[in-house]
Amino acid sequence: MGYPFSDNPLDEYLPKIFQLKIDEFNANCTREDATATKEERDAAGVEIANLSKKIRELKNKFRLPERDFDQFKSSPELAVERFLLENPEPPRPEAYGCRHSQTRVVRRKFRNETLHVVTQCVTCGAQSKALQKKEYDIEKLPEFDEGLYKRLTFEWDIWNSARHDVYVTELNKGNSLPEFDEVGFNTVFQLEDPPPNFEGCDHSHTDARLRTYKSGGTAVVMQCTLCGHHTGSVSKSKYPDLASLPSFDEFLKERSKEDLTAWYRRRGDAWRRAYLEHRERIQRLIQAGELATKDNSRFGTYYKSPEWERTRARILHRDDYECQACKRPAECVHHIVYDRLGAENDLDLISLCNSCHNLIHQEQRHLQNIFRMPPSQIRELHEDSDEYSEDDHAEDD
């Protein structure tokens, strides 16, 4: 029979997803480039969001069904399934997706001490609308419940943390690998490079400023000198000498945002360096035999499972035990894509000899495995036995 090359959707899908991922990679490089302008980095951020959406849409469009037999799941996945049977997921309030169908009118005190009349959603805890104060007796209204969202999400957070612990515990069974110390890294980094006062700023340092609007009108406002936020308005009568007031700094907030973005970039660079050093140290200890390692993930255990053994035998039989690139005897089964690992669609898998298999992986490694060779290109391989050596033992992937 052989591999079904004709009208194969992977021939259209893989080049398209490859191009989108290359574009995404280039946009990420621009966003992380310290020499790029703010406009270039902002444009790259927008492009990354658009590309992520296109990638999701393309994957959904070309999604192939999983096989409904010989499905493999790793021990961490099975442990999570058992956890879910015993502990169903509790409701999780989502402010962004909530329709705010159940609200109540409350009074809310903002950080600048001003009182406002708003509606609060009792389902998610978010403020859903601002109302006119003159229409309500503000003193008789209940206060905005600032802790409602946290209380509503507390149960889900506890459940999610427990689910994660079940997965990680099973994943690390048989291992003595120390985890990367995220808390320690953050503590040391923030001591050496404290974060700018923007996110979570309590506006503890404010000054009265004279703000001039585009219409030409002026107002006395309070501006946070740390983050640039306009925290509230003040009656001009309190400041008879308006000319003595400093002007509102229209660009302070934007500069504060840029400082925060630069800080996150420095933190990201430092995290990657620290994590790489951690991985390299672990690798040295493993090579020295000082640490035990065992991969309990789906990828690490699937190839030793009876499900893979049966799947491999079935694909080799379908392909008449011939390499689908050069027609020599097949020695391994290759994953064209890993999207459905453990429950592959038959189009995901193809029989190959070791030489053609090695050639494909050499081509894919040139592009950091962002590239996956489509079936039509595999069929057109011109394998040169003098150039590509064969392994003594076939390894599937």
Do 197 and 267 lie in one domain? The reply is yes
Q: Which residues pair with 352 in a beta bridge?
A: 332
Do 312 and 322 lie in one domain? The reply is yes
Do 80 and 61 lie in one domain? The reply is no
Last residue of a domain, one of 154, 172, 190: 172
| Residue 185 clears pLDDT 80, i.e. is over it | yes
Whose tokens are 């340092």? That residue is 205
From the CA atom positions of the chain, what is the Rg in Å? 30
| Residue 350 clears pLDDT 50, i.e. is over it | yes
Question: What is the DSSP secondary structure assignment for residue 329, as one 8-state letter?
Answer: B
Separation between Cα atoms, residue 143 and residue 135, nearest integer Å? 17
Last residue of a domain, one of 172, 201, 217: 172
The DSSP H or E segment spanning 129 is strand 127-131
pLDDT tens sequence across 120-171: 999 888 898 999 988 999 889 999 998 888 888 888 999 999 999 999 999 9
Separation between Cα atoms, residue 4 and residue 339, nearest integer Å? 18
Confidence of residue 329 (pLDDT cuts 50, 70, 90): very high
* Chain mean pLDDT for the chain: 89
Average pLDDT (326-352) is: 97
By percentage, how much of the chain surpasses pLDDT 70?
Answer: 95
pLDDT tens sequence across 93-104: 776 678 888 999
Q: Comparing 48-52, 89-93, 384-388, which segment has the lowest mean pLDDT?
A: 384-388
Do 5 and 100 lie in one domain? The reply is no
| Residue 107 clears pLDDT 80, i.e. is over it | yes
Whole-number pLDDT of residue 87: 97
Higher pLDDT, 78 or 242: 78
Whole-number pLDDT of residue 294: 87
Confidence of residue 393 (pLDDT cuts 50, 70, 90): low
pTM of the model: 0.67
The DSSP H or E segment spanning 264 is helix 252-287
| Residue 383 clears pLDDT 60, i.e. is over it | no
Task: Classify residue 117: in a domain, yes or no.
Answer: yes
**Three-state DSSP class for residue 147:** coil
Whole-number pLDDT of residue 114: 83
Do 187 and 110 lie in one domain? The reply is no
Task: Classify residue 386: in a domain, yes or no.
Answer: no
Average pLDDT (65-77) is: 97
Distance of CA 239 to the CA centre of its chain: 50
**Best CA proximity match to 361, nearest among 378, 385, 344:** 378
| Residue 377 clears pLDDT 70, i.e. is over it | yes
Domain limits for position 237: 179-289
Average pLDDT (368-397) is: 71
Last residue of a domain, one of 289, 316, 333: 289
Higher pLDDT, 300 or 177: 300
Structure token digits, residue 288: 């020295």
Number of compact structural domains in the chain: 3
Confidence of residue 198 (pLDDT cuts 50, 70, 90): low
Question: What is the DSSP secondary structure assignment for residue 180, as one 8-state letter?
Answer: P
Whole-number pLDDT of residue 6: 94
Average pLDDT (347-360) is: 96
Task: Classify residue 387: in a domain, yes or no.
Answer: no
